[in-house]
């Protein structure tokens, strides 16, 4: 029975979704950029011209040229290679944060929205408390408290991001819960968890997908900010935030480090945002037929 639902869902979405996707400029450009970033991250070990962590004190602050396509940094490390590997770090963190926040946020949001009662009070008041803090400040506090490292960054960003997903999920469940087909399912003796998974989840999944794809841009940005501030992923692992910080110090004399890294960061964020916008247009039945 577990194999049935996805194949049925796929058939529903598949019919004219691809056609409309191809006609949507945001979705097409966004997905192209995202695809490139993902490929770069996966293929970084094979396409990077140099070892991103190898220090070469004989070639510091080399300008872009034939040996080093995008130049080198203050320790003589190849900027291009570091940008490519930096994409890997960014995506791993963004993916992990997304996995954690979607799981926690969707599950808690559905429980709160469907069952209500004390569970809802507990979950939603927790959400409110977290929302009361400015997102980035809270992430910085948590990261600072837990010490540095990749796992810390994932924990800090997840803590900040799940409440948004939970709140969105709860509000979607609240409206779908009132639909007659939910009553009909209850009337035919379907247990609560199956109603949640089979009847509610497929009906609320598109806004969550949209939220998630836009969210990736924000998460990458936040991760870069933490690294920029020195409380994220640590040297020598290449991160875009850390590279921009290093590049900023010598922006006037050697702008290439900060410039190219910022371009990579900006382009990636724009890519995910465009994909998110496109998906919102494609998945929202109200905007769909325009």
| Of 1, 19, 57, 132, the one binding other proteins by CB under 8 A | 1
> Which tokens go with 136?
């980035």
Closer residue to other proteins, CB minimum distance, 132 or 189: 189
Shortest separation between residue 120's beta carbon and other proteins, angstroms: 13
Under the criterion CB under 8 A, does residue 253 sit at the interface with other proteins?
no
| Chain CA centroid to CA 214, Å | 7
CA–CA separation, 59 vs 79, rounded Å? Answer: 12
Shortest separation between residue 190's beta carbon and other proteins, angstroms: 6
How many other β-carbons are positioned within 10 Å of the β-carbon of residue 137? 10
Closer residue to other proteins, CB minimum distance, 12 or 58: 12
**The one segment of 79-87, 104-112, 198-206, 257-265 that binds other proteins by CB under 8 A:** 198-206
Under the criterion CB under 8 A, does residue 191 sit at the interface with other proteins?
yes
Question: Between vectors from CA 55 to CA 53 and to CA 57, what angle results, nearest 5°?
Answer: 160
CA–CA separation, 273 vs 271, rounded Å? Answer: 5
Closer residue to other proteins, CB minimum distance, 1 or 58: 1
How many other β-carbons are positioned within 10 Å of the β-carbon of residue 19? 9
Under the criterion CB under 8 A, does residue 199 sit at the interface with other proteins?
yes
Closer residue to other proteins, CB minimum distance, 126 or 203: 203
Residue of 119, 212, 129 lying closest to 168 (CA atoms) = 212
Under the criterion CB under 8 A, does residue 202 sit at the interface with other proteins?
yes
Judge whether 27 and 279 are in contact, CB under 8 Å: yes
| Of 126, 190, 225, 250, the one binding other proteins by CB under 8 A | 190
**The one segment of 9-17, 48-56, 217-225, 270-278 that binds other proteins by CB under 8 A:** 9-17
| Of 67, 128, 183, 235, the one binding other proteins by CB under 8 A | 183
How many residues touch other proteins (CB under 8 A)?
A: 25
Under the criterion CB under 8 A, does residue 5 sit at the interface with other proteins?
yes
Burial level of 89, CB count in 10 A (0-12/13-18/19+)?
Answer: buried
Under the criterion CB under 8 A, does residue 180 sit at the interface with other proteins?
yes
Judge whether 247 and 259 are in contact, CB under 8 Å: yes
How many other β-carbons are positioned within 10 Å of the β-carbon of residue 13? 14
Query: Which 8-state DSSP code applies to residue 69?
Result: T
How many other β-carbons are positioned within 10 Å of the β-carbon of residue 99? 12
Under the criterion CB under 8 A, does residue 189 sit at the interface with other proteins?
yes
| Of 47, 181, 230, 284, the one binding other proteins by CB under 8 A | 181
Return residues touching other proteins (CB under 8 A).
1, 3-5, 8-9, 11-12, 179-181, 183-191, 194, 198-199, 202-203
């Amino acid at each position: 029975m577990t194999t049935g639902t996805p194949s049925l869902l796929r058939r529903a979405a598949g019919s004219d979704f691809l056609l409309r996707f191809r006609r949507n400029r945001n979705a097409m450009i966004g997905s192209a950029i995202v695809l490139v970033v993902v490929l770069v991250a996966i293929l970084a070990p094979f396409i990077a011209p140099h070892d991103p962590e190898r220090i070469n004190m004989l070639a510091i602050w080399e300008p872009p040229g034939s040996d080093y396509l995008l130049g080198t940094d203050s320790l003589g490390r190849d900027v291009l290679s570091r940008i490519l590997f930096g994409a890997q770090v960014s995506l791993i963190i963004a993916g992990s944060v997304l996995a954690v926040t979607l799981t926690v946020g969707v599950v808690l949001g559905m429980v709160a929205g469907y069952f209500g009662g004390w569970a809802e009070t507990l979950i939603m008041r927790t959400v409110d408390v977290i929302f009361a803090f400015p997102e980035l400040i809270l992430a910085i506090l948590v990261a600072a408290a837990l010490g540095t490292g990749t796992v810390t960054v994932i924990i800090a960003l997840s803590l900040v991001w799940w409440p948004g997903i939970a709140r969105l999920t709860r509000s979607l469940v609240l409206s779908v819960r009132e639909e007659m087909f939910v009553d009909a399912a209850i009337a035919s003796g379907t247990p609560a968890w199956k109603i949640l998974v089979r009847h509610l989840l497929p009906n609320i999944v598109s806004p969550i997908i949209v939220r998630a794809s836009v969210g990736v841009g924000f998460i990458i940005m936040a991760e870069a900010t933490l690294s920029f501030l020195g409380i994220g992923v640590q040297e020598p692992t290449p991160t875009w935030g850390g590279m921009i910080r290093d590049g900023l110090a010598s922006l006037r004399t050697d702008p290439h480090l900060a410039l190219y890294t910022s371009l990579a960061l900006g382009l990636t964020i724009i890519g995910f945002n465009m994909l998110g916008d496109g998906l919102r247009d494609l998945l929202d039945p109200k905007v769909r037929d325009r």
